[in-house]
Amino acid sequence: MKTVRWGLLSTANINRRLIPAIRASQRGELVAVASRTQASADAYAQKWDIPQAFGSYQAMLASGAVDAVYISLPNHLHAEWSIQAMRAGVAVLCEKPFALTLAEVDEMIAVHEETGVPLAEAFMYLHHPQTKIARDWVQSGRLGTISLVRGTFDFAMSNPDGNIRMDPALGGGCLWDVGVYPMSFAQFVMGGKPAWVLGTQWVGPTGVDETFAGQMGYTQGAVAQGAVAQGAVAQGAIAQIASSFRTPYHTFFEIVGTEGRLHLTRPFTGLDGDDRSFTFTNKNGISEELPVPEVELYSGEVEDMHAALLDQTPNALSLTETRNHIQTVLALYESAKTGKIVYLP
Protein backbone atom coordinates (compact mmCIF):
# COMPACT_ATOMS: atom_id res chain seq x y z
CA MET A 1 0.00 0.00 0.00
CA LYS A 2 1.51 3.34 -1.11
CA THR A 3 -1.56 5.49 -0.64
CA VAL A 4 -4.65 5.15 1.50
CA ARG A 5 -7.97 4.86 -0.34
CA TRP A 6 -10.61 6.69 1.69
CA GLY A 7 -14.35 6.17 1.77
CA LEU A 8 -16.95 8.39 3.41
CA LEU A 9 -19.45 6.34 5.39
CA SER A 10 -22.43 8.72 5.19
CA THR A 11 -23.08 12.02 3.44
CA ALA A 12 -23.06 14.16 6.60
CA ASN A 13 -22.35 17.86 6.35
CA ILE A 14 -19.11 17.54 8.35
CA ASN A 15 -17.58 15.61 5.42
CA ARG A 16 -16.98 18.93 3.67
CA ARG A 17 -14.16 19.63 6.14
CA LEU A 18 -12.42 16.27 5.74
CA ILE A 19 -12.61 16.07 1.95
CA PRO A 20 -10.10 18.88 1.29
CA ALA A 21 -7.72 17.44 3.90
CA ILE A 22 -7.71 14.03 2.19
CA ARG A 23 -7.23 15.58 -1.23
CA ALA A 24 -4.40 17.80 -0.03
CA SER A 25 -2.44 14.80 1.24
CA GLN A 26 0.15 13.05 -0.89
CA ARG A 27 -0.58 9.77 0.88
CA GLY A 28 -4.35 9.55 0.54
CA GLU A 29 -7.10 9.71 -2.05
CA LEU A 30 -10.87 9.94 -1.75
CA VAL A 31 -12.34 7.12 -3.82
CA ALA A 32 -15.84 6.36 -2.51
CA VAL A 33 -18.91 7.46 -0.62
CA ALA A 34 -21.74 5.36 0.81
CA SER A 35 -25.27 6.37 1.69
CA ARG A 36 -28.49 4.59 2.61
CA THR A 37 -29.74 4.79 -0.98
CA GLN A 38 -28.00 4.64 -4.34
CA ALA A 39 -29.65 7.86 -5.46
CA SER A 40 -28.32 9.75 -2.45
CA ALA A 41 -24.83 8.32 -2.91
CA ASP A 42 -24.82 9.11 -6.62
CA ALA A 43 -25.89 12.71 -6.06
CA TYR A 44 -23.24 13.23 -3.39
CA ALA A 45 -20.52 11.62 -5.50
CA GLN A 46 -21.40 13.89 -8.41
CA LYS A 47 -21.41 17.01 -6.22
CA TRP A 48 -17.99 16.26 -4.73
CA ASP A 49 -16.43 14.49 -7.73
CA ILE A 50 -15.99 11.16 -5.94
CA PRO A 51 -15.32 8.19 -8.28
CA GLN A 52 -17.46 5.48 -6.63
CA ALA A 53 -20.87 5.62 -4.97
CA PHE A 54 -22.43 2.82 -2.91
CA GLY A 55 -26.10 2.52 -2.03
CA SER A 56 -25.41 0.94 1.36
CA TYR A 57 -22.68 1.17 3.97
CA GLN A 58 -22.10 -2.57 3.94
CA ALA A 59 -21.65 -2.59 0.16
CA MET A 60 -18.75 -0.16 0.38
CA LEU A 61 -17.11 -2.08 3.23
CA ALA A 62 -17.39 -5.37 1.33
CA SER A 63 -16.19 -3.93 -1.98
CA GLY A 64 -12.45 -3.96 -1.32
CA ALA A 65 -12.36 -0.45 -2.76
CA VAL A 66 -11.37 1.37 0.44
CA ASP A 67 -8.62 1.06 3.03
CA ALA A 68 -10.05 3.55 5.54
CA VAL A 69 -13.42 5.13 6.25
CA TYR A 70 -14.46 8.32 7.93
CA ILE A 71 -17.60 7.60 9.97
CA SER A 72 -19.72 10.73 10.34
CA LEU A 73 -23.03 9.03 11.09
CA PRO A 74 -25.33 10.12 13.94
CA ASN A 75 -23.76 9.40 17.32
CA HIS A 76 -25.80 6.31 18.12
CA LEU A 77 -24.48 4.53 15.00
CA HIS A 78 -20.76 5.10 15.56
CA ALA A 79 -20.05 1.89 17.42
CA GLU A 80 -22.04 -0.40 15.10
CA TRP A 81 -20.41 0.75 11.90
CA SER A 82 -16.93 1.12 13.34
CA ILE A 83 -17.12 -2.53 14.33
CA GLN A 84 -18.44 -3.62 10.95
CA ALA A 85 -15.69 -1.69 9.19
CA MET A 86 -12.93 -3.22 11.30
CA ARG A 87 -14.31 -6.70 10.74
CA ALA A 88 -14.13 -5.96 7.00
CA GLY A 89 -10.47 -5.01 7.39
CA VAL A 90 -11.10 -1.29 6.89
CA ALA A 91 -9.44 1.27 9.18
CA VAL A 92 -11.75 3.67 11.02
CA LEU A 93 -11.60 7.36 11.76
CA CYS A 94 -14.75 7.76 13.85
CA GLU A 95 -16.20 11.21 14.44
CA LYS A 96 -16.65 12.26 18.05
CA PRO A 97 -18.23 11.20 20.27
CA PHE A 98 -16.71 7.78 19.77
CA ALA A 99 -19.72 5.99 21.28
CA LEU A 100 -22.49 6.57 23.79
CA THR A 101 -21.76 3.84 26.35
CA LEU A 102 -18.65 2.31 27.87
CA ALA A 103 -19.87 -1.11 26.77
CA GLU A 104 -19.79 0.09 23.16
CA VAL A 105 -16.33 1.58 23.61
CA ASP A 106 -15.02 -1.63 25.12
CA GLU A 107 -16.47 -3.69 22.28
CA MET A 108 -14.88 -1.37 19.70
CA ILE A 109 -11.51 -1.65 21.44
CA ALA A 110 -11.85 -5.44 21.66
CA VAL A 111 -12.51 -5.72 17.91
CA HIS A 112 -9.56 -3.43 17.19
CA GLU A 113 -7.30 -5.64 19.31
CA GLU A 114 -8.71 -8.79 17.69
CA THR A 115 -8.35 -7.58 14.10
CA GLY A 116 -5.36 -5.26 14.37
CA VAL A 117 -7.21 -2.72 12.24
CA PRO A 118 -6.47 0.94 13.11
CA LEU A 119 -9.24 2.72 15.01
CA ALA A 120 -9.17 6.37 16.08
CA GLU A 121 -11.50 9.03 17.45
CA ALA A 122 -11.71 12.08 15.18
CA PHE A 123 -10.75 14.98 17.45
CA MET A 124 -9.14 17.12 14.76
CA TYR A 125 -7.94 19.97 17.02
CA LEU A 126 -5.86 17.57 19.18
CA HIS A 127 -3.54 17.07 16.18
CA HIS A 128 -3.05 20.78 15.53
CA PRO A 129 0.28 22.44 16.51
CA GLN A 130 -1.55 25.00 18.67
CA THR A 131 -2.89 22.28 20.97
CA LYS A 132 0.46 20.53 21.19
CA ILE A 133 2.25 23.80 21.98
CA ALA A 134 -0.16 24.39 24.87
CA ARG A 135 0.59 20.98 26.37
CA ASP A 136 4.32 21.47 25.81
CA TRP A 137 4.13 24.62 27.94
CA VAL A 138 2.51 22.61 30.72
CA GLN A 139 4.97 19.72 30.46
CA SER A 140 8.01 21.98 30.39
CA GLY A 141 6.95 23.79 33.56
CA ARG A 142 6.88 27.20 31.88
CA LEU A 143 3.46 27.84 33.42
CA GLY A 144 4.54 26.56 36.81
CA THR A 145 2.11 24.31 38.64
CA ILE A 146 -1.31 24.15 36.97
CA SER A 147 -4.25 24.83 39.27
CA LEU A 148 -7.09 25.65 36.83
CA VAL A 149 -8.12 25.10 33.23
CA ARG A 150 -11.30 26.55 31.74
CA GLY A 151 -12.96 26.08 28.38
CA THR A 152 -16.19 26.81 26.54
CA PHE A 153 -17.80 25.91 23.22
CA ASP A 154 -21.18 27.57 22.55
CA PHE A 155 -23.25 28.23 19.47
CA ALA A 156 -26.83 29.23 18.79
CA MET A 157 -28.60 26.45 16.90
CA SER A 158 -30.44 27.96 13.95
CA ASN A 159 -32.41 24.84 12.91
CA PRO A 160 -33.49 22.90 16.01
CA ASP A 161 -36.61 21.33 14.46
CA GLY A 162 -35.78 17.82 13.33
CA ASN A 163 -32.09 18.25 14.14
CA ILE A 164 -30.47 15.02 15.34
CA ARG A 165 -28.60 17.03 18.00
CA MET A 166 -31.97 17.58 19.69
CA ASP A 167 -32.95 13.89 19.84
CA PRO A 168 -31.90 12.09 23.04
CA ALA A 169 -32.38 8.70 21.36
CA LEU A 170 -29.71 9.60 18.80
CA GLY A 171 -27.14 10.82 21.30
CA GLY A 172 -28.16 14.47 21.14
CA GLY A 173 -27.26 17.20 23.59
CA CYS A 174 -24.71 20.00 23.73
CA LEU A 175 -22.26 18.12 25.95
CA TRP A 176 -22.01 15.22 23.49
CA ASP A 177 -21.87 17.63 20.54
CA VAL A 178 -19.55 20.47 21.56
CA GLY A 179 -18.91 20.17 25.31
CA VAL A 180 -16.64 17.22 24.54
CA TYR A 181 -14.13 19.67 23.07
CA PRO A 182 -13.20 21.56 26.25
CA MET A 183 -13.60 18.32 28.22
CA SER A 184 -11.09 16.52 26.01
CA PHE A 185 -8.70 19.48 25.99
CA ALA A 186 -8.72 19.47 29.78
CA GLN A 187 -7.79 15.78 29.80
CA PHE A 188 -5.11 16.37 27.17
CA VAL A 189 -3.52 19.10 29.29
CA MET A 190 -3.97 17.38 32.66
CA GLY A 191 -2.74 14.04 31.36
CA GLY A 192 -5.72 11.88 32.18
CA LYS A 193 -9.27 11.60 33.40
CA PRO A 194 -10.44 13.45 36.51
CA ALA A 195 -10.89 11.96 39.96
CA TRP A 196 -14.42 13.39 40.26
CA VAL A 197 -16.94 15.45 38.30
CA LEU A 198 -19.90 17.69 39.05
CA GLY A 199 -22.32 18.57 36.26
CA THR A 200 -25.32 20.85 35.83
CA GLN A 201 -27.60 21.15 32.82
CA TRP A 202 -30.57 22.97 31.35
CA VAL A 203 -32.76 20.44 29.55
CA GLY A 204 -34.94 21.68 26.71
CA PRO A 205 -38.36 20.46 25.59
CA THR A 206 -36.97 17.62 23.46
CA GLY A 207 -35.18 16.11 26.46
CA VAL A 208 -31.56 16.98 25.63
CA ASP A 209 -29.22 19.28 27.47
CA GLU A 210 -29.20 22.61 25.64
CA THR A 211 -26.78 24.12 28.15
CA PHE A 212 -24.28 22.18 30.23
CA ALA A 213 -21.61 23.23 32.73
CA GLY A 214 -19.23 20.94 34.55
CA GLN A 215 -16.34 20.83 36.96
CA MET A 216 -13.70 18.13 36.99
CA GLY A 217 -11.38 17.61 39.92
CA TYR A 218 -7.83 16.35 39.57
CA THR A 219 -5.37 14.97 42.09
CA GLN A 220 -1.71 14.26 41.52
CA GLY A 221 -2.51 10.58 41.68
CA ALA A 222 -5.12 10.96 38.94
CA VAL A 223 -2.56 12.34 36.49
CA ALA A 224 0.62 10.55 37.59
CA GLN A 225 0.23 7.99 34.81
CA GLY A 226 -0.73 10.59 32.24
CA ALA A 227 1.22 12.74 29.82
CA VAL A 228 2.11 15.62 32.13
CA ALA A 229 5.31 15.90 34.08
CA GLN A 230 5.20 14.88 37.73
CA GLY A 231 4.30 17.94 39.78
CA ALA A 232 2.97 19.95 36.84
CA VAL A 233 -0.62 19.69 38.09
CA ALA A 234 -1.48 20.85 41.59
CA GLN A 235 -3.17 18.62 44.10
CA GLY A 236 -6.82 19.63 43.82
CA ALA A 237 -6.55 21.23 40.36
CA ILE A 238 -9.90 22.03 38.75
CA ALA A 239 -11.14 21.98 35.16
CA GLN A 240 -14.27 23.99 34.35
CA ILE A 241 -16.14 23.42 31.08
CA ALA A 242 -19.32 24.77 29.52
CA SER A 243 -21.30 24.29 26.32
CA SER A 244 -24.57 25.51 24.90
CA PHE A 245 -26.88 25.45 21.90
CA ARG A 246 -28.54 28.68 23.06
CA THR A 247 -25.92 31.42 22.86
CA PRO A 248 -23.92 33.04 20.04
CA TYR A 249 -20.82 31.24 18.82
CA HIS A 250 -18.04 31.49 21.39
CA THR A 251 -15.02 29.35 22.20
CA PHE A 252 -11.98 29.73 24.40
CA PHE A 253 -9.59 27.70 26.51
CA GLU A 254 -7.38 28.93 29.34
CA ILE A 255 -4.63 27.20 31.32
CA VAL A 256 -3.65 28.87 34.61
CA GLY A 257 -0.46 28.14 36.49
CA THR A 258 1.69 29.68 39.18
CA GLU A 259 3.98 31.33 36.60
CA GLY A 260 1.28 32.63 34.26
CA ARG A 261 -1.53 31.61 31.96
CA LEU A 262 -2.22 30.67 28.35
CA HIS A 263 -5.40 31.96 26.67
CA LEU A 264 -6.65 30.54 23.35
CA THR A 265 -9.54 32.27 21.58
CA ARG A 266 -9.97 29.60 18.88
CA PRO A 267 -8.90 26.35 20.52
CA PHE A 268 -11.17 24.03 18.52
CA THR A 269 -12.17 25.74 15.25
CA GLY A 270 -11.02 28.50 12.94
CA LEU A 271 -7.36 27.92 13.65
CA ASP A 272 -6.38 29.46 10.32
CA GLY A 273 -8.52 32.56 10.83
CA ASP A 274 -7.35 36.11 11.47
CA ASP A 275 -9.37 36.30 14.69
CA ARG A 276 -7.36 33.58 16.41
CA SER A 277 -5.08 34.58 19.26
CA PHE A 278 -2.80 32.48 21.47
CA THR A 279 -1.52 34.55 24.36
CA PHE A 280 0.80 34.01 27.32
CA THR A 281 0.44 36.35 30.29
CA ASN A 282 3.13 36.01 32.93
CA LYS A 283 2.66 36.36 36.67
CA ASN A 284 3.54 40.06 36.43
CA GLY A 285 0.65 40.69 34.00
CA ILE A 286 2.82 41.12 30.89
CA SER A 287 1.32 39.49 27.79
CA GLU A 288 2.84 38.26 24.56
CA GLU A 289 1.27 36.74 21.47
CA LEU A 290 2.64 33.29 20.65
CA PRO A 291 3.19 32.21 17.03
CA VAL A 292 1.39 29.11 15.78
CA PRO A 293 2.12 27.33 12.47
CA GLU A 294 -0.79 27.66 10.06
CA VAL A 295 -1.89 24.10 9.36
CA GLU A 296 -5.25 23.02 7.93
CA LEU A 297 -7.35 21.99 10.90
CA TYR A 298 -8.40 18.54 9.66
CA SER A 299 -5.12 17.50 8.04
CA GLY A 300 -3.60 16.19 11.27
CA GLU A 301 -6.13 13.44 11.87
CA VAL A 302 -5.92 12.37 8.21
CA GLU A 303 -2.11 12.14 8.28
CA ASP A 304 -2.30 10.32 11.61
CA MET A 305 -4.36 7.57 9.99
CA HIS A 306 -2.01 7.48 7.01
CA ALA A 307 0.88 6.91 9.41
CA ALA A 308 -1.04 4.11 11.15
CA LEU A 309 -1.72 2.32 7.87
CA LEU A 310 1.44 3.04 5.88
CA ASP A 311 4.07 3.27 8.63
CA GLN A 312 2.46 1.02 11.28
CA THR A 313 2.68 3.92 13.74
CA PRO A 314 0.18 3.87 16.64
CA ASN A 315 -2.52 6.50 16.37
CA ALA A 316 -1.58 9.62 18.32
CA LEU A 317 -4.84 9.66 20.28
CA SER A 318 -4.83 6.41 22.22
CA LEU A 319 -7.93 4.34 22.79
CA THR A 320 -7.31 4.69 26.53
CA GLU A 321 -7.67 8.47 26.14
CA THR A 322 -10.81 7.96 24.08
CA ARG A 323 -12.30 5.65 26.70
CA ASN A 324 -11.55 8.30 29.32
CA HIS A 325 -13.47 10.85 27.22
CA ILE A 326 -16.61 8.73 27.16
CA GLN A 327 -16.33 7.70 30.81
CA THR A 328 -16.04 11.36 31.84
CA VAL A 329 -19.02 12.50 29.76
CA LEU A 330 -21.17 9.72 31.19
CA ALA A 331 -20.12 10.69 34.71
CA LEU A 332 -20.96 14.35 34.04
CA TYR A 333 -24.43 13.37 32.80
CA GLU A 334 -24.95 11.15 35.84
CA SER A 335 -23.94 14.01 38.12
CA ALA A 336 -26.27 16.47 36.38
CA LYS A 337 -29.13 14.00 36.71
CA THR A 338 -28.56 13.16 40.38
CA GLY A 339 -27.21 16.50 41.61
CA LYS A 340 -24.28 14.74 43.24
CA ILE A 341 -20.53 14.56 42.73
CA VAL A 342 -19.57 11.42 40.79
CA TYR A 343 -16.22 9.77 41.41
CA LEU A 344 -14.46 7.98 38.56
CA PRO A 345 -12.77 4.63 39.23
Say if residue 14 is in the same domain as residue 42: yes
Range of the domain at 273: 126-299+325-343
Single pTM value for the model = 0.94
Do 82 and 158 belong together in one domain?
A: no
- Which three-class secondary structure state does DSSP give residue 65? coil
**In terms of domains, do 173 and 286 share one?**
yes
**CATH number of the CATH domain containing 287:** 3.30.360.10
Count the helix, strand and coil residues of the chain and give each as a percent rounded to the nearest 5: 35, 30, 35
Instruction: State residue 61 phi and psi, 5-degree precision.
Output: -65, -35
Q: Does 116 share its domain with 18? A: yes
Longest Cα–Cα distance of the chain, Å, equals 63
Asked if residue 82 and residue 19 are part of one domain, the reply reads yes
Per-residue pLDDT of the chain (345 residues; tens, 9 = 90+): 799 999 999 999 999 999 999 999 999 999 999 999 999 999 999 999 999 999 999 999 999 999 999 999 999 999 999 999 999 999 999 999 999 999 999 999 999 999 999 999 999 999 999 999 999 999 888 999 899 999 999 999 988 888 999 999 999 999 999 999 999 999 999 888 999 999 999 999 999 999 999 999 997 544 544 445 445 777 789 999 999 999 999 999 999 999 999 999 999 987 666 688 999 999 999 999 999 988 899 999 999 999 999 999 999 999 999 999 999 999 999 999 999 999 999
Say if residues 125 and 292 touch (Cβ distance below 8 Å): no
Q: In angstroms, rounded to a whole number, what is the distance separating the alpha carbons of residues 299 and 19?
A: 10
The verdict on 112 and 206 lying in the same domain is no
Dihedral sign of CA atoms 36, 41, 44, 49 in order: positive
Q: Are 54 and 60 in contact (CB under 8 A)?
A: yes
Domain boundary among 122, 139, 169: 122
The Cα-based distances of 51 to 18, 23, 44, 340 in angstroms read: 16, 13, 11, 53
